[in-house]
Chains A and B, each alone.
Chain A
């Protein structure tokens, strides 16, 4: 039986967080009363002319640079012609065959192009269907009309729904760090369409693709793409062809329905926008965009965490994609002597405590806003590493830190949570008592069944309320039973 491989490419629309619209001076808004941010330009009144928003160009170049694209010294705006009530001029001003950015790469996905355009207005359909067909009445809100958009088109380099979702998260974090967009999928400032096809594994030819729309969350992207892969695979397995069409994803039923072919039978009749002059990316604009880039983008940060600090890839990516966690981590590192030889904390040890902290303060919270100062967490991790406090006891200390803040060392002392170490006579006595309490287990260990050591170690940990170091206790038990170190 043939195994099929999915091939996925994404088209992402990003609303830029400029102060004003792409081609006029109206302010961007969200949830304001309808049609309160409009002017002759964004209403498409007769005689009005577009003027390019410089800030949007700046953001466009920043995005292009961050994605490793070639920035065109000269690019063009075109008119994309079609009739719809949300498009007041009867055409959208967009970039066509000479876009601002070409080529590029983010992670393991190549970027095909990045271009600038304007958003359409928002339609609200009254009536049962919620779509224009069959609605009683439709209202147009032009507040959104003319919002600057960047469209990012990838090459078909993604191979699974999960990968598509993860890569989109990487892109979102990158854009967020650039500060060019709110990148909020629910509010529509980040929108994604997917081009999906399947082919026999190993084949280098592309199958017939469909375009998926209306996946307005990360989860829906993953589910929509998955459903479409299953649908296409089913067709091919049944010997039926995949038809190239646009599919509308319905999250309520997790199903895809083709958009009526009439809606997509467009000849957009692109031609260069005569109301605008060619867009020239001057050396000054390029320098301005370069200077505005963050020192390190998420992907670079994750790589540094792995390479220089030895973090595992998942943790490195977590800290890079959730910038606030990465920032907190780095502040804690700095508090404990920074990056050089003075550093008193083990980065890997410290990194393990940040998810623990997040678990205690709520998974979406920023630890910077918690009671736990970065230096306190670093101190706690240092104490764990130097076995001044056991891992179990440290978890208790962290819970107390989250509640009351303060110095972990003081809490350990106050609560008597300090580690009981091999040097303590008490620990040796406890080990002896453990062996005496379970002679059968002791005998099994002696005869080489190391699994039987569990109850003996558990006895000591129970008695010390977790303050002893598990490894240390194991070592002592073996020693007492004559197994050597």
Chain B
């Protein structure tokens, strides 16, 4: 069985389509591994593949996908990592999950995550933390920690997650896999239990860049159920570049200097990867994103503000947890929300409620939106000179469990290099660029809106040159 698990998703799909592999065998191999999971990566695992689908004829060949808990899946628990939605089984399926199933990627499992996607270590899950397969004493990153750990550990061929400020890229980096945050609007958000609506994007977490491109190709597209979704221009190309000839890379001083507190090992790895890019033909120069250092501050006003409204629907009236109150409505609301939400969710609801309050709106939410515009303009200016922006994905490699839980601000710094792209709505990819003290390091490339195909191509060329071996984590 283990040889099946060594196949990338794209390779497995090809074998199934060629009649060399039964999709049910592949499904069972992963199902069995997922069911025996010791990383707490899953909140639900399927019994088997949906019967009767002609997977051999579908582009994704029946290669099953692990799906972050916050995607609604009809009749299957969709809890967004929260006790307030414990056991909640939605009556409908999220658009991207349907699209993937339609393309031949059936649901394998639901993956653990930080509660309502709020977190960078997966320690905020209502269902317990996920462990990093490279070192079980360490976190997998978050919020898509379950998806990242599952793919890294070979418990799922590939997975989808969501990225609001780094929630795909950072866990991908910490687990040594590929993660893509697409252009805002590229993938439908319909059926994604919302954290921050203007930032949330679905994307792939995969073993390599080719898998990411193949999966993303079947995720993107306008959805009439999501007004903010856009028609993707053209089809996502499968990457094949072997060099970076003519590619201009900008390295923003603001995100790679001392501000983010980048670890020495991560910095060394980043510099080595940049040198590699130059050897592949890229020209590399420093560039400026003057407002990027303010991104984290703006993000922690905008995202909690939107979350404070998005999470208001959990009121014990129609679904989810209900803790009876006294004879009145307000005590039912407050007892339910007190019992159902974890501390980080409560913190952000309070932050967001405050930022939107009458008298504070302009100073907080209004200013944050202006900063957001400035950051987007910074990127636009930078892309006049550069094809892509390169940074480390995360300032650190995977850190020890509970080492940052007492200090929310230190935890928030995880997203220092990923949040600016989220605010600007542009695509970014994290690929594994090596190990530092035995732990994976992520390298981030960001491009202009809808540059996914070019971005994947560049990442592919780097991936080949780096030759990262993640098989250690699958053992």
Chain A residues with CB under 8 Å of chain B are: 40, 43-52, 79, 81, 83, 85, 88-91, 132-133, 140, 267, 269-271, 274-277
Contact = CB atoms under 8 A, between A and B. Distances in A.
Given A49-B227, A275-B227, A40 B90 contact: yes
A331 to B, nearest CB: 46
User: Taking chain A's interface residues, is the majority helix, strand, or loop, or is none over half, making it mixed?
Assistant: loop
A47 B313 contact: no
Contact of B227 (A45, A51, A81, A88): A51
6 shortest A-B CB distances, which residue pairs? A90-B312, A269-B356, A274-B197, A274-B198, A46-B193, A47-B191
Interface in B48-87: 70-72, 78, 80, 85
A79 B307 CA distance: 12
A51 B189 CA distance: 12
A52 B226 CA distance: 10
Given A46-B88, A47-B70, A274-B306, 12 more contacts: A40-B92, A46-B319, A47-B190, A47-B191, A81-B312, A83-B315, A83-B333, A90-B311, A90-B312, A91-B312, A269-B358, A274-B197
B309 interface: yes
B312 A271 contact: no
Contact of A85 (B189, B225, B315, B356): B315
Which of B189, B306, B313 is packed against the most chain A CB atoms within 10 Å? B313
Contacts of A140: 317-318
User: Taking chain B's interface residues, is the majority helix, strand, or loop, or is none over half, making it mixed?
Assistant: loop
A88 B224 contact: no
A140 B329 CA distance: 13
A88 B91 contact: no
A270 B358 CA distance: 9
B358 A271 contact: no
A45 B312 contact: no
29 contacts: A40-B92, A43-B318, A45-B91, A45-B319, A46-B78, A46-B88, A47-B70, A47-B71, A47-B72, A47-B90, A48-B190, A49-B190, A49-B227, A51-B225, A52-B227, A81-B312, A85-B315, A85-B329, A88-B317, A88-B318, A89-B309, A89-B312, A90-B312, A90-B313, A90-B315, A267-B358, A275-B189, A275-B194, A276-B227
Nearest to B72: A47
A271 B365 contact: yes
B356 A81 contact: yes
Contacts of A88: 313, 317-318
A79 B310 CA distance: 10
Contacts of B72: 45-47
Interface string B296-312: 00000000011011011
Contacts of B318: 43-45, 88, 140
Contacts of B224: 51
B85 to A, nearest CB: 7
B361 interface: yes
B192 interface: yes
A129 to B, nearest CB: 12
A256 B338 CA distance: 38
Contact of B197 (A43, A132, A270, A275): A275
Interface residues of B, number: 46
Contacts of B191: 47-48
Contact of A46 (B90, B228, B317, B328): B90
A351 B70 CA distance: 68
A288 B92 CA distance: 35
Which of A79, A83, A270, A271 is packed against the most chain B CB atoms within 10 Å? A271
Interface string B347-374: 0000001001110010001000000000
Nearest to A23: B227
B94 interface: yes
Interface of B: 70-72, 78, 80, 85, 88, 90-92, 94, 189-194, 196-198, 224-228, 305-306, 308-309, 311-313, 315, 317-319, 328-330, 333, 353, 356-358, 361, 365
A365 to B, nearest CB: 46
A47 B305 CA distance: 17
Nearest to A267: B358
Given A44-B318, A47-B94, A271 B228 contact: no
Contacts of B306: 271, 274
B317 A277 contact: no
A279 B121 CA distance: 39
Contacts of A85: 315, 317, 329
B425 to A, nearest CB: 12
A89 B306 CA distance: 13
Contacts of B189: 49, 275
B193 A40 contact: no
Contacts of A49: 189-190, 225-227
Contacts of A269: 308-309, 353, 356-358, 361
A32 to B, nearest CB: 19
A140 B318 CA distance: 9
Which of A49, A50, A88, A132 is packed against the most chain B CB atoms within 10 Å? A49
A267 B313 CA distance: 17
A35 to B, nearest CB: 10
A270 B357 CA distance: 8
A271 B305 contact: yes
Which of B85, B192, B305, B356 is packed against the most chain A CB atoms within 10 Å? B356
A427 B312 CA distance: 87
Contacts of B227: 49-52, 275-277
A370 B356 CA distance: 61
Given A46-B78, A46-B90, A132-B329, A91 B358 contact: no
Contacts of B356: 81, 269-271
A267 B357 contact: yes
Contacts of A51: 224-227
B72 to A, nearest CB: 4
B329 A81 contact: no
B349 to A, nearest CB: 11
Contacts of B196: 274
Given A275-B227, A275-B228, A46 B94 contact: no
Given A40-B92, A46-B72, A267-B357, A91 B225 contact: no
Contacts of B353: 269
A282 to B, nearest CB: 15
A271 B357 CA distance: 10
Nearest to B230: A277
Nearest to A275: B197
Contacts of B194: 46-47, 275
Contact of B312 (A47, A83, A270): A83
B145 to A, nearest CB: 20
A271 B361 CA distance: 9
Contacts of B309: 79, 81, 89-91, 269, 271
A44 B90 contact: no
A270 B306 CA distance: 11
A81 to B, nearest CB: 5
Contact of B193 (A47, A79, A83, A132): A47
Contact of B313 (A44, A132, A275): A44
Contacts of A79: 309
